[in-house]
């Protein structure tokens, strides 16, 4: 292959140099290279030395990253948060109070410090998550590109392409640099990124191609004329700055929730101002001097600020970012590379998976297992027997290659064709010898729409056509009509069937009206051993699996039966499916289990029909034509190994190992993510509500506020940033796949969660008020009482963290699955002790004795008893 490509390049080099003036006048908008580059580098591909030379001259194929918002600006933006502004007001208020009452400014400093700490922690967690996404984007530049270097083709990362490289492109590849085509065979490119025109553009030799566009048909060889920032894409990119990521549905839901709760906080804050003022001015001894009046109003305002600070859950949407980043990392390690963040979330609510067959359900190790001829035979001269014709057809009418790699036979290209080559190889036939002896004049490549491939060659100044493809399609072109009955047996044994035919071209070069049938082969592709299990898990999880394949209905049904996808549903073929009206299609899709003989467009129709029925659809795809289906599906899954760049670019998740069980695991992770956020919500909202109400009630009962502002800020850090990390790292558990998908419109807060939050918060409030009234045992002074109240509240939340790990009646194993939880909870306890023992001045606390600490620890432990009660509630309500 290398040879023929180089030959073609050689001949086109002359015409290119000759036509360079014409090229120059074309308006392609890309940076033109001077003629000397073509002469200097030639079109035979670069050598190791010329690569260095070119890189020195024109640089690397890397785009300068878009202008970023500088880190300090991102950080300052955090201070625009309304809650932080309110806190800044609090800083000023407390400074005024301190000045008025002649106290020290230590409180003010403390609040300021806490505000800075809270924003910094929130900023850092978010910043770290964002870095994970940037790393993903960078990976794109590492896509492999086929180039000719040092005289032979090889694959190098996209960023290593330099000006002068000769690049081999085929359908599905992304164009890695701007340049010109040296060879074009039926080449079509999708330049919609630049023109907005979605129809592919035909490309011929000398046409320009742009980095970032896609080859959608045929093959081509290009000369790289501009790389990196000098490409058109680079010029466009440099004029843009980084956009902000859109929010995911869950983030939006949580935003709304946070909004609602904040309203509640503001109303409470307003009420508290009123209550305190009435208490002071109407009921108590009214303040006399203006300074006194001012000070009372200031105090009321401080109270309001405190209420707002505790009740506004500003960390909710951020928690999603944190857990998405955590989940993304874990999913990638589990072989699904997440390209669009939102997919982590959506994949958990998928209700239907439409999957390819070859490679996803099967191993994609195709072997010829049956054939209509005994053995392949080599002909001397023009083939005479069917066996000789099939041998010639299999060897020549093909784009695959066999290569020895460290003494192992590996196959390159189309796996069906590779199976044929291995079949020849097994019986001692050298396909390369045959290809040399019978060079092709032209080829019409296989695609899953046509389901056939043909090659024309010349012998004795006559031209012949070799055709291979799906049996019924080949048979329809043959006369006399062949007997296909034997083929059905093969198909029923789950074999892919492939037929061969040939014919002589008419003297004017036209294809003959009928072909001569030569025979067929049956190709076996074993089902992956772990697929039936994964299909069953999906079914148990309320997810239907449907197979979409280009294979015959018999083969498809046989495999679908083996994998458990086909049970009692419908099998249809693409042509039948396409004929239906939209309505009819919607009616039958729920029963449809196998769609055979389908074209890529059918996949899109299927996705749309399912979505119209309200399903959340995941679809797999590898081919260039699969892109529309991948883009339209709720979750597009592209193949990492067999997939084309186009398919990958259109997808949300890339399956690194192409296999179906990986999809099932991705669903599992998606569900775990959702549940983890629910865990976090229970934890945060319990603190929110109990702290806010305690703060609200205590002045009504005539007690001083239970927490100071600084104490509340620490509680805020626990519930916003730390808890998200602790609870969102929970590992997925099997029970997640035993229940139906959660509808997308469902509220994140389930009745169970409401119950759990309200019960726990209520217990905190009742116990808290009781403690205020009766005083805490073992605490001697009022200062110790106040300190113990604050410490007890925090430690009780730590115990409640354990309750929150359990959800919906299931508690994960104590020490397995989430070490982060223990680290964070340990950290909270440690810091709490430090605060109390040493933070006295700022946090308004006094040191406690070890005995008193033990009392607090054990005294709050009964919080754990809430869990069995919650589980009981869950089981009861589930039965109802
Ligand atoms: P799928 O990817 O769903 O397994 P394909 O679209 O690859 O199905 O193939 C559909 C049919 O086209 C196959 O059943 C086979 O008969 C035929 N076919 C597959 N590969 C080739 C090829 N390289 N040349 C000719 N025909 C082929
Ligand atoms: Mg295929």
pLDDT tens-place string over residues 101-140: 777 787 778 778 777 877 787 777 667 666 655 665 565 5
Q: CA 472 → CA 492, 552, 597, distances in Å?
A: 15, 9, 11
The residue among 524, 558, 592 that closes a domain is 524
Q: Which atom of ligand 1 is the closest one to the Cα of 448?
A: 6
Q: Is residue 154 one of the residues assigned to a domain? A: no
Q: State in Å: Cα 643 to ligand 2 middle.
A: 10
- Is residue 499 within 8 A of residue 520, CB to CB? The reply is yes
Looking at the structure, do residues 729 and 691 belong to the same domain, yes or no? yes
Instruction: Please tell me the number of the ligand nearest to residue 394's CA.
Output: 1
Write phi, then psi, for 439 (nearest 5 degrees). -65, 145
411 lines ligand 1 (CB under 6 A): no
Looking at the structure, do residues 505 and 567 belong to the same domain, yes or no? no
Candidates 37, 107, 356, 622; catalytic one? 356
Q: Is residue 487 one of the residues assigned to a domain? A: yes
Q: Which residues contact 137 (CB under 8 A, 6 or more apart)?
A: none
Q: Which two tokens stand for residue 733?
A: 């558990």
417 lines ligand 1 (CB under 6 A): yes
pLDDT at residue 154, rounded to an integer: 80
CATH number, domain of 31, equals: 2.70.150.10
Task: Write the pLDDT tens digit of every residue in 627-673.
Answer: 888 888 999 999 888 777 778 878 889 898 889 999 999 999 999 99
What distance in Å separates the CA atoms of residue 798 and residue 831, rounded to the nearest whole number? 12
Looking at the structure, do residues 492 and 550 belong to the same domain, yes or no? no
448 lines ligand 1 (CB under 6 A): yes
Segment 358-367 mean pLDDT: 89
Question: Which protein residue's CA is at the shortest distance from atom 22 of ligand 1?
Answer: 446
Looking at the structure, do residues 580 and 693 belong to the same domain, yes or no? no
Q: State in Å: Cα 802 to ligand 2 middle.
A: 49
Instruction: Please tell me the number of the ligand nearest to residue 354's CA.
Output: 1
What distance in Å separates the CA atoms of residue 172 and residue 74, rounded to the nearest whole number? 38
Q: Which atom of ligand 1 is the closest one to the Cα of 473?
A: 16
Min mean pLDDT across 493-497, 751-755, 806-810, 834-838 is at 806-810
Q: Which residues contact 546 (CB under 8 A, 6 or more apart)?
A: 352, 353, 354, 355, 565, 592, 593, 594, 595, 606
CATH number, domain of 298, equals: 1.20.1110.10
Q: Over 60: is that where the pLDDT of 2 sits? A: no
Looking at the structure, do residues 808 and 747 belong to the same domain, yes or no? yes
Q: Which atom of ligand 1 is the closest one to the Cα of 552?
A: 14
Question: Which protein residue's CA is at the shortest distance from atom 9 of ligand 1?
Answer: 550
Looking at the structure, do residues 53 and 91 belong to the same domain, yes or no? no
pLDDT at residue 183, rounded to an integer: 86
- What residue has token string 């194993």? 813
Segment 856-873 mean pLDDT: 93
Write phi, then psi, for 156 (nearest 5 degrees). -130, 155
Q: Is residue 704 one of the residues assigned to a domain? A: yes
Whole-model pTM: value is 0.77
Domain extent, residue 195, equals: 2-61+162-226
Q: Is residue 508 one of the residues assigned to a domain? A: yes
Q: Is residue 780 one of the residues assigned to a domain? A: yes
Looking at the structure, do residues 482 and 615 belong to the same domain, yes or no? no
**709-717 and 106-139 are packed helices; what angle lies between their axes, rounded to 10 degrees?**
20
Task: Write the pLDDT tens digit of every residue in 438-465.
Answer: 998 888 888 888 899 999 999 988 999 9
Q: State in Å: Cα 452 to ligand 1 middle.
A: 7
- What residue has token string 């467009």? 601
Looking at the structure, do residues 827 and 687 belong to the same domain, yes or no? yes
Q: Which two tokens stand for residue 515?
A: 């072909």
398 lines ligand 1 (CB under 6 A): no
- Mean pLDDT, the chain, integer: 84
Q: Is residue 145 one of the residues assigned to a domain? A: no
Instruction: Please tell me the number of the ligand nearest to residue 647's CA.
Output: 2
pLDDT at residue 85, rounded to an integer: 78
What distance in Å separates the CA atoms of residue 96 and residue 608, rounded to the nearest whole number? 63
β-pairing, 592-596 with 544-548? parallel
What distance in Å separates the CA atoms of residue 209 and residue 219, rounded to the nearest whole number? 13
Question: Which protein residue's CA is at the shortest distance from atom 14 of ligand 1?
Answer: 551
Looking at the structure, do residues 214 and 268 belong to the same domain, yes or no? no
Q: Over 90: is that where the pLDDT of 413 sits? A: no
Q: Which atom of ligand 1 is the closest one to the Cα of 468?
A: 25
170 lines ligand 1 (CB under 6 A): no
The sign of the torsion formed by the CA atoms of 802, 806, 811, 816 equals negative
More confident residue, 468 or 718: 468
Q: State in Å: Cα 469 to ligand 1 middle.
A: 7
In percent, the amount of the chain with pLDDT more than 70 equals: 90
Q: Is residue 140 one of the residues assigned to a domain? A: no
pLDDT at residue 574, rounded to an integer: 94
Q: State in Å: Cα 551 to ligand 1 middle.
A: 6
What distance in Å separates the CA atoms of residue 5 and residue 219, rounded to the nearest whole number? 11
- Is residue 133 within 8 A of residue 733, CB to CB? The reply is no
Collapsing DSSP to helix, strand or coil, 123 comes out as helix
Q: Over 50: is that where the pLDDT of 30 sits? A: no
Looking at the structure, do residues 176 and 256 belong to the same domain, yes or no? no
Domains: count for the chain: 4
Q: State in Å: Cα 385 to ligand 1 middle.
A: 25
Q: Which residues contact 520 (CB under 8 A, 6 or more apart)?
A: 371, 372, 471, 486, 487, 490, 497, 498, 499, 500
357 lines ligand 1 (CB under 6 A): yes
Task: Write the pLDDT tens digit of every residue in 146-161.
Answer: 888 888 878 888 888 9
Q: State in Å: Cα 198 to ligand 2 middle.
A: 23
Q: Is residue 570 one of the residues assigned to a domain? A: yes
Instruction: Please tell me the number of the ligand nearest to residue 361's CA.
Output: 1
Looking at the structure, do residues 294 and 348 belong to the same domain, yes or no? no
pLDDT at residue 1, rounded to an integer: 36
Q: Which atom of ligand 1 is the closest one to the Cα of 398?
A: 23
CB count in 10 Å sphere of residue 285 = 7
Q: CA 767 → CA 201, 687, 754, 854, distances in Å?
A: 73, 14, 20, 18
Task: Write the pLDDT tens digit of every residue in 720-770.
Answer: 778 878 888 888 899 999 989 988 778 888 999 999 999 999 999 999 999
Write phi, then psi, for 774 (nearest 5 degrees). -90, -20
The residue among 524, 548, 574 that closes a domain is 524
Residue 479, preceding peptide bond in cis (omega within 30° of 0): no
What distance in Å separates the CA atoms of residue 719 and residue 685, rounded to the nearest whole number? 9
Q: CA 68 → CA 127, 243, 244, 304, 409, distances in Å?
A: 13, 9, 10, 38, 48
Output the CA torsion 409→414→420→423 (10° steps). 20
pLDDT at residue 385, rounded to an integer: 95
Q: Over 80: is that where the pLDDT of 235 sits? A: no
451 lines ligand 1 (CB under 6 A): yes
Q: State in Å: Cα 472 to ligand 1 middle.
A: 12
CATH number, domain of 634, equals: 3.40.50.1000
Q: State in Å: Cα 415 to ligand 1 middle.
A: 9
The residue among 666, 696, 713 that closes a domain is 666
Beta bridge partners of 217: 188
What distance in Å separates the CA atoms of residue 628 and residue 632, rounded to the nearest whole number? 6
pLDDT at residue 334, rounded to an integer: 84
Beta bridge partners of 149: 46, 152
- What residue has token string 């040493």? 838
- Is residue 284 within 8 A of residue 277, CB to CB? The reply is no
Task: Write the pLDDT tens digit of every residue in 310-351.
Answer: 777 766 766 777 777 788 888 888 888 887 777 888 899 999
User: Mutate which of 354, 368, 419, 448 to test ligand 1's pocket (most atoms within 8 Å of Cβ)?
Assistant: 448
User: Mutate which of 365, 466, 469 to test ligand 1's pocket (most atoms within 8 Å of Cβ)?
Assistant: 469
Q: Over 90: is that where the pLDDT of 10 sits? A: no
Q: Which atom of ligand 1 is the closest one to the Cα of 416?
A: 20
Looking at the structure, do residues 515 and 372 belong to the same domain, yes or no? yes
257 lines ligand 1 (CB under 6 A): no
Q: Over 90: is that where the pLDDT of 46 sits? A: no
Min mean pLDDT across 184-193, 279-288, 449-458, 871-880 is at 279-288
551 is catalytic: no
The sign of the torsion formed by the CA atoms of 502, 507, 511, 512 equals negative
Q: Supply the Cα-derived Rg of the chain in whole angstroms.
A: 35
CATH number, domain of 415, equals: 3.40.1110.10
Question: Which protein residue's CA is at the shortest distance from atom 12 of ligand 1?
Answer: 451
User: Mutate which of 475, 498, 639 to test ligand 1's pocket (most atoms within 8 Å of Cβ)?
Assistant: 498
């Amino acid at each position: 292959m290398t040879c023929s490509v180089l030959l073609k390049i050689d001949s086109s080099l002359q015409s290119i140099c000759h036509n360079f003036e014409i090229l120059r006048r074309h308006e392609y908008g890309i940076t033109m290279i001077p003629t000397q580059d073509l002469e200097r580098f030639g079109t035979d591909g670069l050598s190791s030395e010329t690569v260095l030379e070119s890189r020195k001259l024109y640089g690397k194929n890397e785009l300068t990253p878009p202008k970023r918002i500088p880190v300090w600006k991102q950080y300052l933006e955090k201070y625009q948060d309304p809650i932080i502004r309110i806190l800044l007001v609090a800083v000023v208020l407390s400074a005024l109070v301190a000045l008025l009452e002649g106290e020290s400014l230590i409180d003010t400093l403390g609040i300021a410090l806490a505000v800075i700490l809270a924003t910094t922690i929130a900023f850092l967690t978010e910043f770290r998550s964002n870095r994970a996404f940037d790393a993903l984007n960078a990976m794109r530049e590492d896509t492999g590109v086929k180039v000719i270097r040092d005289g032979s083709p090889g694959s190098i990362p996209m960023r290593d392409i330099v000006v002068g490289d000769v690049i081999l492109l085929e359908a599905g590849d992304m164009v890695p640099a701007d340049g010109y085509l040296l060879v074009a065979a039926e080449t079509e490119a999708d330049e919609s990124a630049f023109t907005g025109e979605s129809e592919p553009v035909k490309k011929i030799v000398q046409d320009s191609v742009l980095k970032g566009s896609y080859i959608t048909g045929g093959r081509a060889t290009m000369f790289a004329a501009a790389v990196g920032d000098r490409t058109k894409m680079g010029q466009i990119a440099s004029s843009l700055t980084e956009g902000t990521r859109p929010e995911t549905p869950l983030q939006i839901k949580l935003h709304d929730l946070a909004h609602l709760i904040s309203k509640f906080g503001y109303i409470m804050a307003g009420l508290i101002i009123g209550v305190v003022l009435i208490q002071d001015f109407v009921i108590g001894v009214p303040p006399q001097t203006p300074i006194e009046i001012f000070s009372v109003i200031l105090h009321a305002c401080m109270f309001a600020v405190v209420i707002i600070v505790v009740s506004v859950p500003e960390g909710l949407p951020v928690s999603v970012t944190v857990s998405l980043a955590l989940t993304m990392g874990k999913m990638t390690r589990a072989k699904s590379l997440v390209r669009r963040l939102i997919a982590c979330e959506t994949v958990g609510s998928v209700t239907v998976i439409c999957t390819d067959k070859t490679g996803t359900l099967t191993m994609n190790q195709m072997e010829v297992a049956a054939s209509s001829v005994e053995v392949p035979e080599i002909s001397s001269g023009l083939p005479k027997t069917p066996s000789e014709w099939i041998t010639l057809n299999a060897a020549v009418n093909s784009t695959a290659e066999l290569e020895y790699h460290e003494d192992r036979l590996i196959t390159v290209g189309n796996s069906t064709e590779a199976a044929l080559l291995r079949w020849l190889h097994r019986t001692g036939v050298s396909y390369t010898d045959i290809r040399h002896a019978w060079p092709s004049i032209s080829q019409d490549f296989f695609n899953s729409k046509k389901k056939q491939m043909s090659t024309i060659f010349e012998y004795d100044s006559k031209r012949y056509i070799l055709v291979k493809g799906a049996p019924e399609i080949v048979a329809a072109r043959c006369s006399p009509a062949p007997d296909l009955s034997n083929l059905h047996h093969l198909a029923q044994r789950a074999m892919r069937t492939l037929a061969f035919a040939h014919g002589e071209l008419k003297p004017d070069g036209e294809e003959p009206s009928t072909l001569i049938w030569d025979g067929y082969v049956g190709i076996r592709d074993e089902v992956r051993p772990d697929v039936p299990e994964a299909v069953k898990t999906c079914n148990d999880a309320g997810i239907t699996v449907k197979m979409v394949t280009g294979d015959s209905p018999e083969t498809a049904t046989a495999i679908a039966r083996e994998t458990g996808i086909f049970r009692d549903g419908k099998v249809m073929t693409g042509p039948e499916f396409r004929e239906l009206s939209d309505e009819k299609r919607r009616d039958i899709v729920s029963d449809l289990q196998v769609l055979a003989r389908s074209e890529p467009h059918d996949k899109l129709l299927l996705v749309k029909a399912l979505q119209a029925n309200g399903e959340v659809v995941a679809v797999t795809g590898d081919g260039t034509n699969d892109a529309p289906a991948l883009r339209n599906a709720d979750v597009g899954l592209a193949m990492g190994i067999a997939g084309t760049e186009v398919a990958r670019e259109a997808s949300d998740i890339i399956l690194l190992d192409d296999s179906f069980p990986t999809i099932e695991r991705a669903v599992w992770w998606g569900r775990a993510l959702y549940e983890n956020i629910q865990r976090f919500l229970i934890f945060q909202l319990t603190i929110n509500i109990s702290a806010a109400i305690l703060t609200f009630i205590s002045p009504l009962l005539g007690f001083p506020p239970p927490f100071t502002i600084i104490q509340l800020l620490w509680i805020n850090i626990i519930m916003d940033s730390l808890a998200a990390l602790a609870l969102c790292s929970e590992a997925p558990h099997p029970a997640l796949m035993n229940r139906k998908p959660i509808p997308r419109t469902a509220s994140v807060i389930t009745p169970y969660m409401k119950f759990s939050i309200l019960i726990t918060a209520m217990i905190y409030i009742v116990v808290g008020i009781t403690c205020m009234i009766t005083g805490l045992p073992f605490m001697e002074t009022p200062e110790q009482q106040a300190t113990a109240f604050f410490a007890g509240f925090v430690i009780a939340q730590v115990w409640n963290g354990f309750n929150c790990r359990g959800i919906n009646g299931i508690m994960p194993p104590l020490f397995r699955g989430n070490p982060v939880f223990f680290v964070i909870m340990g950290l909270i306890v440690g810091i709490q002790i430090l605060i109390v023992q040493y933070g006295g001045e700022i946090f308004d606390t006094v040191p406690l004795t070890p005995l008193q600490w033990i009392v607090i620890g054990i005294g709050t432990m009964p919080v754990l008893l809430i869990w069995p009660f919650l589980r009981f509630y869950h089981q009861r309500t589930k039965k109802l």
